[in-house]
Amino acid sequence: MLTVVYFAWVREAVGCDEEQVDRPAAGASVADLVTMLATRGGGYADAFADASRLRAAIDQRFVPLDTAIGDAREVALFPPVTGG
C-alpha cells in the first residue's frame, strides 16, 4: 500500500487528509496516480481532473508530476503553495 496525503482544496474536495491506496504498477508516476484517483469520480474527479492545477511531493520532497513513485512510502498532492 501507498500513503497518499492531501492539502488545501485538494483535501477538501476528496474529503480526507490521508489514505492508503493500492500501490500503482511498477514504473508509475505521480501523474499516473492522479489519473487513477480521478476515475473514482465525485470529489476525486473535481480535484484530479486537471493535473496542471496540482503539485506533488514524494516522501516530503517536492517533485514534478512525471516523477516515478518507485518504492516511496508517501505521496502528497496539493495546489501550488501560498505561504510567506
Partner 1 sequence: MRRIAVQAGDFDVAAELAALEALGGGGVASFTGIVRGDGGLIALELEHYPAMTQAQIGRIVDAAMTRWPLLGVHVIHRVGRLEPGARIVFVGTASRHRTAALESCAFLIDWLKADAPFWKKEHFADGASHWVAARAEDDSKARGWGG
Q: Residue 13 has which C-alpha cell?
A: 474536495
> For strand 55-58 and strand 18-21, is the pairing parallel, antiparallel, or unpaired?
unpaired
Region near partner 1 per CB under 8 A, out of 19-27, 33-41, 44-52, 71-79: 71-79
What ranges in 1-84 are assigned the alpha helix state H?
8-14, 30-38, 42-48
Comparing CB distances to partner 1, the nearer of 48 and 78 is 78
> For strand 74-78 and strand 61-63, is the pairing parallel, antiparallel, or unpaired?
unpaired
Q: Is 51 helix (H, G, I), strand (E, B) or coil?
A: helix
Comparing CB distances to partner 1, the nearer of 1 and 25 is 1
Comparing CB distances to partner 1, the nearer of 43 and 79 is 79
- Selected from 2, 21, 31, 79, the binder of partner 1 by CB under 8 A is 79
Residues forming the site for partner 1 (CB under 8 A):
5, 7-9, 11, 57, 60-62, 74, 76, 78-84
